[in-house]
Amino acid sequence: MNAVATAPVLISPEQAGPNNIETVLWVKHWTDHLFSFAITRPASFRFRSGEFVMIGLPGVDGGKNILRAYSIASPSFAEELEFFSIKVEDGPLTSRLQQIKAGDQVLLGKKPTGTLVLDALKPGKRLFLFGTGTGLAPFLSVARDPDAYAAFEQIIVLHGVRQVEELAYRDLFTRDLLEDEYLGEEATRQLVYLPSVTREPFERQGRLTTLVENGRLFDDLGIEARQFDARYDRIMLCGSMAMIKDTAALLESHGLKEGSNAEPGDFVLERAFVG
Ligand code: A2P
């Protein structure tokens, strides 16, 4: 069977309104529910690793544009803007966004922002990045940024998912980053990747909160005290509302304080986009 070439989806300046019109460079489908894509980056578009921006498509039949906040998964110096998304069958945006192809156009907001940035954390030694599901996205940006390796001695990426197949970007953390021309040395020395699965057998099992509570996280890292140390440990959280709430409460019980851009602290959090 021959693949049918369909015409690219193009957006007019009138439809775009105040947003940039960008071109899709590639799309990668991980599972029936997860995909990643990259778009062109306007020359004037600046952001800090870990920030989010509005991404969207024009409304159907002249309806209102549909935009949602997406964490940028590429680091701040990258030429392209990468995103990691869920696919929701009846989701107003993702039901359509999951069908995009290279060459199609999407809308990109003009003002990236967010708190999952190095600036919102006090200086420290260990940086823990807690992401569940597509909440990994901002940490794909932070963990690929040389500034993070300059600011911290160790960067620990925790990715919590239900099923093994949802461990997208496993190859990035276990191979590609370690072999990277620019970051390979730092990553080999400083990066630790700890994936965990909750609903089927895997080498590490349990919610990220459970790994903290039962000490497994600290055992994996050789931290004898089996708890966070407010003097050295800094944490970023991204996931569902419940995950953020429970993990933040747990961190507070270890004596850590939430920070913001205005007042840097020990941990920062953001809700992953759903739908
Ligand atoms: P579980 O399978 O026990 O619900 P989701 O797709 O619902 O966002 O879940 C992604 C991962 O986050 C799953 O492994 C899920 O575990 C876990 N999770 C869900 N709720 C919480 C929570 N309150 N704290 C920590 N992890 C959570």
> Closest ligand 1 atom, CA of 247?
24
Determine the distance separating the centroid of ligand 1 and the alpha carbon of 109, expressed in angstroms: 29
pTM, rounded to two decimals: 0.96
Q: What confidence score (pLDDT) does residue 274 get?
A: 66
Is the pLDDT score of 62 beyond 90?
A: no
Mean pLDDT of 119-133: 98
CA distances from 246 to 113, 235, 269, 271 (A): 24, 14, 12, 12
Res 1 pLDDT > 80 = no
Neighbours of 26 (CB within 10 A): 12
Expressed in angstroms and rounded, the spacing between residue 198 Cα and the centre of ligand 1 is: 8
Q: What is the mean pLDDT of the chain?
A: 95
Report whether pLDDT(2) > 70: no
**Tens digit of pLDDT for each residue in 156-172?**
999 999 999 999 999 99
Q: Determine how many CB atoms are found less than 10 A away from the CB of residue 94.
A: 21
Which pLDDT score, from 0 to 100, does residue 63 have?
87
By the 8 A CB rule, do 208 and 196 touch? yes
Q: Who lines ligand 1 at CB under 6 A?
A: 132-133, 160-162, 198-199, 207-209, 239-240, 242-243, 246
73: pLDDT confidence band, cut at 50, 70 and 90? very high
Q: Atom 25 in ligand 1: which residue has the minimum CA distance?
A: 243
Residue bearing tokens 């020990």: 266
Local confidence band at 187 (pLDDT 50, 70, 90 cut-offs)? very high
Mean pLDDT computed over 65-76: 97
pLDDT at 273: 74
Could you give the CA distance from residue 172 to residue 141 in angstroms, rounded to a whole number? 12
Q: What is the reported pLDDT for 61?
A: 83
Task: Write out the E strands in 2-101.
Answer: 20-29, 34-40, 52-57, 66-71, 80-86
Segment 180-196 mean pLDDT: 98
Dump pLDDT digits (tens) for 219-244. 999 999 999 999 999 999 999 999 99
Q: Does residue 34 contact residue 74 with C-beta atoms inside 8 Å? A: no
Please give the distance, rounded to the nearest whole angstrom, from the Cα atom of residue 190 to the centre of ligand 1. 27
Taking the centre of ligand 1 as the mean of its atom positions, its distance from the CA of residue 1, in whole angstroms, is 41
Name the DSSP class of 162.
S
Å from CA of 133 to ligand 1 middle = 8
- pLDDT higher than threshold 90 for residue 267: yes
